[in-house]
Amino acid sequence: MGVTQGAVAQQVRQLEAHLGVILFDRLPKGLALTPAGRSYHSRISSAFDELRSATAQLKPEPGKVLISVTPTFASKWLIPNLPDLAEKHPDIDLRILATEKVSSFHSDGIDLAIRQGEPPFGAALNATLLFKRDVIAVAAPSLIDRTDAELDPKALSQLPKIHDTHDLWPSVLAGLGIKEQSQRHLRLSQTALAVDAAISGQGVALVNRFLAVRDLDAGKLVEIGPLPAVTAQDFYLLSMRKPAPTAEVNAVMNWLTSQAR
């Protein structure tokens, strides 16, 4: 803090006087928090942790790039592809903020964001299309007991369904002209969890193809189809127009668009 021990003691006494509460017991060999002091400390320490975290995010660090993505995008696409980024750009320190919330480029200190949506996203942002919507139905091979997976609509309607927050099943079944006939439904908060539940044989999930391609290639999932066109949003890479991105941010942007292609 850059002040003397006596100055700190004076500030503590002033704080106690302001609160009307004794925070410390003065002992012969030092200080000890009172119960009120311990309670107060436990609550305000989180505020100081937040200050430190916010400062650390804004502090310039060579090679640091902070990207905000959804947990599903992080676990099902970004993290599995990171070895390629590390090989091509070993000096880039990529940091991932996985959250369902809309992150702020200013208050959260992020450099890039990947989100589903429709442009324009705002005059201050550049938007680059990464993945167009391509929703497919997937299930474990054991669930349908076949690898062809060309199920007729009636058979599909009878299979257990896995739902995520996008809740696309009603529109898919309506597009097929059929009614839901399954009594088993599992509802989850994230698409990544829906994919994992499908792998474990819990039902059929709807997911954008690129998020399931590794599990499809590995034989953990099979595609059930064909499906009607589904109204869904595309995935975009977002960046600030100003100030101009750093060389590291540009490199990550180029890598993302290349990997997406």
Predicted confidence at residue 155, as pLDDT, reads 86
Residue range 50-65, pLDDT digits in tens = 887 777 667 667 788 9
Predicted confidence at residue 63, as pLDDT, reads 86
CA atoms of 57 and 49, how far apart (whole Å): 12
Predicted confidence at residue 146, as pLDDT, reads 55
Contacts of 69 (CB under 8 A, 6+ apart): 78, 96, 97, 98, 113, 114
CATH fold label, 135-224:
D-Maltodextrin-Binding Protein; domain 2 (3.40.190)
Residue range 103-134, pLDDT digits in tens = 778 777 889 999 988 887 878 889 999 999 89
Q: Do domains 64-133+233-260 and 135-224 have the same CATH topology?
A: yes
Spell out, as residue ranges, where the chain has pLDDT lower than 70: 1, 56-57, 59-60, 145-149
Angle made by CA atoms 131, 134, 137, in degrees to the nearest 5: 135
Predicted confidence at residue 147, as pLDDT, reads 44
Closest CA to 176 of 127, 216, 230, 235: 230
CA atoms of 98 and 120, how far apart (whole Å): 23
Q: What are phi and psi of 9, to 5 degrees?
A: -60, -40
Strand partners, 128: 237
Predicted confidence at residue 51, as pLDDT, reads 86
Q: Would you list the domain boundaries of the chain?
A: 5-58, 64-133+233-260, 135-224
Predicted confidence at residue 248, as pLDDT, reads 93
Distance set, CA 64 to CA 77, 135, 136, 212, 255 (Å): 20, 34, 36, 29, 15
| CATH number listed for the domain at residues 64-133+233-260 | 3.40.190.10
CA atoms of 94 and 82, how far apart (whole Å): 9
CATH fold label, 5-58:
Arc Repressor Mutant, subunit A (1.10.10)
